[in-house]
Every structure is written in C-alpha cells, then in structure tokens.
Amino acid sequence: MKRRSRPTALAALAAAAALALTACSGDSGDGGDSGGTTTLTFLSWTGEEQMEQVIDAFEEDHPDIDVEASYSPPVAEYIQALQTRVLSGTAPDVFLIAAENKTNLINGEHVLDLSGEDFVENVEPFNLETYGRDGKYYGLSLSSWAAGYLYNKELLAQVGYDAVPETWDEFLEMCAKLQDAGITPFLESVDQMPTTVSAWVGAKNAEMEPSLDDQIFSGESTFAEQWTPELEEYNRIFEEGLMSPDVVGLDGDQVRDEFANGRVAVINGGPWFIGALKEANPDLDFSFSLVPAIDGGEPFAAGAASPGYAINSKADEDKQEAAKTFLRWLATPEAVELFQSLTNDVTVTSDFEPPVDPTFEPMVPSIREGQLYLPMIAWQRAEDVLNVEAVAQIQRMIRGEVEPEQVAEALDTKLAAS
C-alpha cells in the first residue's frame, strides 16, 4: 500500500510544482499588439528616473509603439534578472548586452545581429566591436567610460609639476619628489583590475596585429609572455616604496576620500568620482590624465564601451521591427543629446559632441576614438574567471608573495583549465 502511494504522492507534488512554475512564469510572451500599437518590452540598465524621460520622448515620436520598461540596477542584479528571464523564455524584446553576459548571450544565440542596420553607421566601431563577434554586432553601445589618473594640482605644484608626466619613469621620479616633500604620492585601489595595468596592456594591444588577446586566446602567445613586462613595471612602484602595499586593503571609495581630503597627490579613477569629489571638497583643484606610458609608448586609458542595446532574437518579427525602430531612434542626435543630458555619459555617435566636465576633458579624445582597454571585456572567454584570478594574484604580488611572472603564469593556468 505504502509503495503504491509513493508514486502517487510524487506525481501530485510534480503536478503541483509544474502548476506553480507555470503560474510563476507569468508572461505568456504572445500578447502586446492591440489596436495597431506594438508593445515592446524593455529591461533597462539605466535608472527609471532617467530612462522614463527617454522612453516618453520616443513614444511621443512613435505613438504606434508602446515601450513597457522594467528596471534592474547594474551590474550583478541586472545580469541575474536578465538571465532568469532568458532561461524562462520570457526575455524582454530589448535588453542590454554587457561584458558580464555577452559570451553567454552570443553563444546561446539570444541576440539579433545588428550589423548592416543603418543605425549603427554613426557609432564608433570600437563600441560595436566590443559587443560583436566575427564581424557581427549584437549591441548598440552609444557611450563609453574611461579611467585614468586624477591629480591634485596644488600638491603637484609643490614639487614643480603642473600635470602628471607622460612616462612611467618620470611619474616614479615625481612620486619620489612628492614623498620627499612628505606627501603621499599615489594610491591605486586594487580591489579590481588596476587601472594602470589595464591601460598598459591596452596600449600594447593597440600596437599589435593580430591583437594581443587574439594571440593569447588562439594559443599563439601566453599571458606570461605578454603580461609579465607590464606587471614587472607596475611592481616597481611597490619595490621602490613609492606606493604602500596597504592599497590591497582599500576600495575605490576609500582612495577617493583620501584624495578629496587632500591627503594624496594622485589616484586612479573615472568620471564617477567627479560629483563626489566636488561635493566633498568644492575647493579641490584637480584634473584627469591618461596613464603614463612605458616602453616609449603613448599614454593610454583603461575603459570600455558601455553596455549595448540588444534585440531578443527569439522575439516575434513585428517586435523585432519595433525594437529596431527604438534603437534607430536612440541613435539619433536628439535622443543621444537627451540621454547624455540625463546620464552625463560620454557618448560616441559621430553626429553629436557631448559636453563634459572640464576636469575630464583630457580623457575625452580616448573615449571618442575608442582608445580604451579593459581586460575583462577584451578577453574572449572565461572573462570573470580570469579577472578574479588576476586581481587576487596582483594583490599577492603587491604583498610580495609572488613574482610578476607567476601572476601571468597563473592566468595561463586558469585559461587552460577553463
């Protein structure tokens, strides 16, 4: 008796589970067109306060399309929300493709190829290629961000400098002078990939054909070969005692606060610091600079293309057409101007010049020309795995636990295992 009742109970539970899951899945995915209006579902990365104004402007121009937006903050929460919806077959018609999900979205054929569409023509190729593969573009990325060095003009002036030097040797020389003057010369948060290392590898990558990452990921070269010289240069600042190894215990906000209070001459950072710095210390006289160059190269910036608008390849054809209309409108100068005014992003469309904070102007040419590099986005697979490993190993190098070459070798090992 008991034996017979077990399958029955299991079947009942399975039925209940199926019922619950069906109920949870909610969106049937078919509806949306009523009275000649196409409803477009959109999962926004940008906050509701800003994006709502953009959507209102679009709907005013296109009354036949109703954008039904939902919002999820970046980064982890957005990636999780989108992934859940993709998995359950309820992905929105338009969503954002980002560094963290591009491999899975492209591999799973969840995103529509946008190459050949007229609205990608005025967008910086670097941004399109960031979210592309094999000549195809899967995301309409309309802006980029860049990180470099922020310097306190007053503190630098005390040792006879009016800006950050263009070469690493000169920079270390300046740091030594600052230190002799009793000023903490440089703090770089290394809870993420150091800005300096990203920029140097980027500068090297820009000079290589095929690219540095093409060579590493095709097996032609290795991290040990390509990254070791840059890591050795970076380690010099710790070996020469010009930056405290205590930076391994700091995050970006702590470094920013030190800078805001005038306790350090140079830090790494991006445009997201500007507002907080001006609020914390309105009298602070600071500016941005590119990361000084090594090996006779050019100063470079760490950075990447912002996530791109992607179209769900599984959406109905009419939804895809409406989505293209939405993306086409987003790339117009009027829409870009509106978006830029709401988000302060540095946009990269050729027909609109974004106004930027004067302190950030030295970084703008790099952004507009796509002269940016961020390993995690440039890497062709196992991006997160490699990034976690790189950050941890660089921290160990700073603490003197491993040599620069061992950091690079650890990345090779990780890549081989992925």
Footprint on this chain of another protein (rule: CB under 8 A):
13, 16-17, 20, 76, 79-80, 83, 86-87, 100-101, 103-105, 107-108, 110, 191, 244-251, 254, 258, 261, 263, 382-385, 388-389, 391-393, 395-396, 398-399, 401, 414, 417
Give min distance, CB of 248 to another protein, in A.
4
Give min distance, CB of 86 to another protein, in A.
5
Instruction: Report the half-sphere exposure of 292 (CA within 13 A, side-chain side).
Output: 20
Considering the complex, state which of residue 39 and residue 244 has its C-beta at the smaller distance from another protein.
Answer: 244
Considering the complex, state which of residue 83 and residue 235 has its C-beta at the smaller distance from another protein.
Answer: 83
Considering the complex, state which of residue 57 and residue 385 has its C-beta at the smaller distance from another protein.
Answer: 385
Phi, psi of 66 (to 5 degrees): -110, 115
Closest CA to 268 of 290, 283, 248, 249: 290
Closest CA to 296 of 199, 164, 204: 204
Considering the complex, state which of residue 357 and residue 401 has its C-beta at the smaller distance from another protein.
Answer: 401
Considering the complex, state which of residue 24 and residue 209 has its C-beta at the smaller distance from another protein.
Answer: 24
Considering the complex, state which of residue 19 and residue 163 has its C-beta at the smaller distance from another protein.
Answer: 19
Angle among Cα 232, 235, 239 to the nearest 5 degrees reads 125
Give min distance, CB of 396 to another protein, in A.
4
β-pairing, 37-44 vs 33-34, is antiparallel
Residues 293, 299 contacting (CB under 8 angstroms): yes
Give min distance, CB of 4 to another protein, in A.
17
Q: What is the DSSP string of 117-179?
A: -GGGTTB-HHHHHHTEETTEE--B--EEEEEEEEEEHHHHHHTT-SS--SBHHHHHHHHHHHH
Dump strand ranges (E) for 179-270. 184-187, 264-269
Give min distance, CB of 254 to another protein, in A.
6
Q: Which residues contact 347 (CB under 8 A, 6 or more apart)?
A: 142, 143, 336, 339, 340, 354
Give min distance, CB of 14 to another protein, in A.
9
